[in-house]
């Protein structure tokens, strides 16, 4: 089913661009996202040899070998340094060297000649997302506080061990459920309303108190140690 993705897609955060190489190894297509991300316009890029145009001189020989292998039908993924023509967004320095991760897929022209499609990811954005994921894993796995993650349909995607300990059962028990699966109706309705407000406005809701009960097993104290009674 074709439909527009809602706000919050991974593509809102990670910078991905594309371009293609023709049978001669020169740039044949250059996406608008490539122009935006790399700071290089299609007017300058299309028809150019990507090695001589963008790769630092000291890496030309290695880069040409790689392009030759790609046009022989080899998939390739790697980190590629490149130099922008326009000023760097953060520093304002012209022609700053940056780093991109490129995934190259062999393709064919209508005449059966070898070509390639290239996807480019900004390494800084990619590494930032990887760091955020690692931090999220640490929060969910080690925090002494209960965490619950809802999706845009207000269904639970994940809870941590502390949450499951308080409300009872393993974490997997709550996946796909909603507020009404662990809170009384009135409190669940309040939480759902707050979640909808966050989705609609983008503003956080803080210091919201919810009142409910937990299973007896989660609150009952453990019996004191003592001798095990024997049967008469």
Write down the mean pLDDT value for the chain: 79
Cα–Cα distance, 152 to 172 (Å, whole number): 19
Q: Can you give the CATH number for the domain in which 89 is found?
A: 3.30.450.20
Q: Is residue 134 part of a domain?
A: no
Is residue 54 exposed (0-12), middle (13-18) or buried (19+ Cβ within 10 Å)? buried
Is residue 109 exposed (0-12), middle (13-18) or buried (19+ Cβ within 10 Å)? exposed
Number of other CB atoms surrounding residue 76 within 10 Å = 16
- Do 147 and 123 belong together in one domain? no
pTM of this prediction exceeds 0.75: no
For residue 222, the model assigns a pLDDT of 46
- Do 149 and 123 belong together in one domain? no
- Do 98 and 164 belong together in one domain? no
For residue 92, the model assigns a pLDDT of 52
For residue 202, the model assigns a pLDDT of 82
Mean pLDDT of 76-94: 63
The domain tally of the chain equals 2
With CA atoms as reference, report the closest residue to 36 among 45, 27, 25, 48: 45
Mean pLDDT of 70-83: 82
Q: Which domain holds residue 169?
A: 143-211
Does the pLDDT value for residue 228 go beyond 80? no
Interval 108-165: pLDDT, tens: 999 999 999 999 887 776 666 666 666 677 667 777 778 888 988 899 988 888 888 8
- Do 51 and 84 belong together in one domain? yes
- Do 120 and 152 belong together in one domain? no
Greater model confidence, 134 or 24: 24
Q: Is residue 100 part of a domain?
A: yes
For residue 129, the model assigns a pLDDT of 65
Q: Is residue 223 part of a domain?
A: no
For residue 149, the model assigns a pLDDT of 87
Does the pLDDT value for residue 28 go beyond 90? yes
- The torsion angles phi and psi of 184, rounded to 5 degrees, stand at -60, 160
Cα–Cα distance, 110 to 98 (Å, whole number): 34
Specify which residues 103 forms β-bridges with.
Answer: 77, 119
Q: Is residue 218 part of a domain?
A: no
Greater model confidence, 207 or 72: 72
Does the pLDDT value for residue 232 go beyond 50? no
Number of other CB atoms surrounding residue 115 within 10 Å = 19
Does the pLDDT value for residue 29 go beyond 90? yes
- Do 152 and 50 belong together in one domain? no
Interval 153-200: pLDDT, tens: 899 988 888 888 888 888 889 999 999 999 999 999 999 999 999 888
Mean pLDDT of 49-68: 86
| Alpha helices by DSSP H, the chain | 32-38, 42-45, 50-54, 60-70, 123-142, 161-167, 185-201, 216-219
What are the residues whose beta carbons fall under 8 Å from the beta carbon of 161, sequence distance 6 or more? 141, 171
For residue 23, the model assigns a pLDDT of 93
Cα–Cα distance, 177 to 196 (Å, whole number): 16
Greater model confidence, 170 or 98: 170
- Domain's final residue, options 96, 127, 158: 127
Q: Is residue 203 part of a domain?
A: yes
Specify which residues 20 forms β-bridges with.
Answer: 29, 117
- Domain's final residue, options 127, 154, 179: 127
**Angle in degrees, CA 172, 174, 176, rounded to 5:** 100
The two three-digit tokens of residue 12, written as one number:
């809102």
- Do 32 and 92 belong together in one domain? yes
Cα–Cα distance, 78 to 68 (Å, whole number): 15
Contact 219, 168 (CB under 8 A): no
Mean pLDDT of 75-100: 66
Could you identify the residue written with the tokens 């293609």? 20
């Amino acid at each position: 089913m074709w439909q527009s993705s809602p706000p919050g897609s991974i593509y809102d955060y990670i910078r991905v661009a594309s371009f293609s190489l023709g049978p001669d190894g020169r740039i044949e297509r250059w996406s608008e996202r490539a122009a935006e991300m790399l700071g290089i316009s299609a007017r300058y890029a299309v028809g150019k040899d990507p090695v001589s145009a963008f790769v630092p001189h000291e890496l030309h020989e290695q880069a040409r070998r790689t392009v030759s292998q790609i046009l022989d039908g080899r998939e390739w993924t790697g980190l590629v340094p490149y130099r922008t023509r326009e000023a760097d967004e953060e520093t304002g320095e012209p022609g700053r060297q940056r780093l991109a991760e490129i995934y190259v897929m062999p393709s064919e022209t209508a005449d059966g000649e070898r070509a390639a499609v290239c996807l480019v990811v900004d390494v800084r954005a990619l590494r930032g997302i990887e760091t955020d994921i690692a931090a999220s894993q640490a929060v969910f796995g080690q925090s002494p506080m209960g965490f619950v993650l809802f999706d845009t349909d207000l269904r639970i995607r994940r809870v941590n061990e502390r949450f499951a300990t308080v409300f009872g059962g393993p974490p997997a028990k709550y996946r796909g459920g909603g507020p009404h699966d662990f809170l009384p109706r009135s409190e669940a309705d309040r939480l759902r309303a707050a979640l909808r407000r966050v989705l609609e406005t983008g503003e956080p809701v803080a210091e919201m108190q919810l009142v409910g009960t937990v299973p007896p097993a989660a609150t009952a104290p453990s019996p004191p140690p003592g001798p095990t009674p024997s049967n008469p």
